[in-house]
Chain A
Amino acid sequence: MRASRRSRLTIVIFILLGGVAILFLLRTAFDEGLNVFFTPTEIAEGKAGTNQNLRIGGMVKQGSLKREGEGTLIQFIATDFNADISVVYDGVLPDLFREGQGVVAEGRLQEDGTFMARQILAKHDENYMSAEVKTALEAAESKGAAIPAMQQ
Chain B
Amino acid sequence: MIPEFGNFAIILALGLSLMLSVVPMLGAARRQLQWMQTARTLTTGVFVFMLAAFIALAWSFLQDDFSVAYIARNSNTALPTYYKLAAVWGAHEGSLLLWVLILSLWGFAVSVFSKDLPIDMVSRVLSVMGMVEVGFIGFLLFTSNPFERSLLNIPTEGADLNPLLQDFGLTVHPPFLYMGYVGFSVAFAFAIAALLSGRLDAAWSRWSRPWTNAAWSFLTIGIALGSWWAYYELGWGGWWFWDPVENVSFMPWLVGTALIHSLAVTEKRGVFKSWTVLLAIGAFSLSLLGAFIVRSGVITSVHAFAVDPERGLVLLCLLLLIIGGSLLLYALRAPVVAGNSVYGEQSRELYLLLNNIILVVSMAMILLGTLYPLIHEAIYGEANKVSVGPPYFNTLFVPLMGGMSFLLGIAVFTRWKRTPVNHLISSLRPLLLLSIVLGLALPLILQAEFKISVVVALALALWITATLLMDIRNKVRNKASFMNGLLSLGRAYWGMQLAHFGLAVIICGICLTSQYSVEDDVRMQPGDEHEIEEYVFKFEGVREIVGPNYDAQAATITVTKSGEPYLTLQPEKRRYRARGDVQTEADIDVGLFRDLFTALGDPRGDDAWVVRIHVKPFVFWIWLGAFFMATGGVLAILDKRYRRERIRKNSRLDNSSVVSNTIAINEAGNVSTKSFDSNETRGLVEERV
Residues of A at under 8 Å CB distance from B? 7, 22, 25-26, 28-30, 32-37, 53, 55, 67, 70-72, 90-93, 95-96, 106, 121, 124-128, 130-132, 135, 139
Contacts and interface: CB of A to CB of B under 8 A. Distances in A.
B387 A67 contact: no
A26 B396 contact: yes
Residue of A25, A93, A95 ringed by the most chain B CB atoms within 10 A: A95
Contact of A34 (B164, B388, B523, B599): B388
B386 interface: yes
B369 A92 contact: no
B365 interface: yes
B386 A126 contact: no
A24 to B, nearest CB: 10
B419 interface: no
B531 interface: no
Contact of B382 (A90, A124, A135): A135
27 contacts: A25-B395, A26-B396, A28-B395, A29-B395, A32-B392, A33-B388, A34-B372, A34-B388, A34-B392, A37-B385, A53-B389, A55-B385, A55-B386, A67-B602, A67-B604, A67-B605, A70-B523, A71-B523, A92-B599, A93-B601, A95-B583, A106-B389, A121-B302, A124-B164, A127-B306, A132-B385, A139-B383
A82 to B, nearest CB: 14
B386 A132 contact: no
Interface in B327-385: 345, 361, 365, 368-369, 372, 382-385
Q: Which 4 A-B pairs have the closest CB atoms?
A: A33-B392, A92-B601, A37-B385, A32-B391
A93 B377 CA distance: 29
A132 B612 CA distance: 29
Contact of B388 (A28, A35, A90, A131): A35
Given A22-B361, A26-B365, A95-B584, A35 B389 contact: yes
B272 to A, nearest CB: 16
Nearest to A122: B302
Contacts of B392: 29-30, 32-34
Chain A interface mostly helix, strand, loop or mixed? mixed
B456 interface: no
B300 A131 contact: yes
B591 interface: no
Contact of B391 (A29, A90, A124): A29
B385 to A, nearest CB: 4
Contact of B306 (A37, A106, A128): A128
Residue of A125, A128, A135 ringed by the most chain B CB atoms within 10 A: A125
Nearest to B398: A25
B395 A33 contact: yes
Contacts of B438: none
B521 interface: yes
A121 B243 CA distance: 12
B401 interface: no
B302 A124 contact: yes
Contacts of A132: 300, 385
Nearest to A39: B383
Contacts of A67: 602, 604-605
A43 to B, nearest CB: 14
A30 B393 CA distance: 9
Contacts of B306: 125, 127-128
A26 B599 CA distance: 36
A35 B386 CA distance: 5
A32 B390 CA distance: 9
Nearest to A68: B604
A126 B581 contact: yes
Nearest to A36: B386
A128 B164 CA distance: 15
Contact of A95 (B300, B385, B395, B581): B581
Contacts of B109: none
Nearest to A138: B383
A7 B601 CA distance: 61
Contacts of A96: 581-582
A22 B365 CA distance: 10
A135 B602 CA distance: 29
Contacts of A139: 383
A17 B523 CA distance: 51
B579 interface: yes
A125 B579 CA distance: 10
Given A33-B392, A90-B521, A128-B304, 11 more contacts: A22-B361, A25-B395, A29-B393, A32-B392, A32-B395, A33-B388, A37-B386, A55-B386, A95-B581, A125-B162, A135-B385
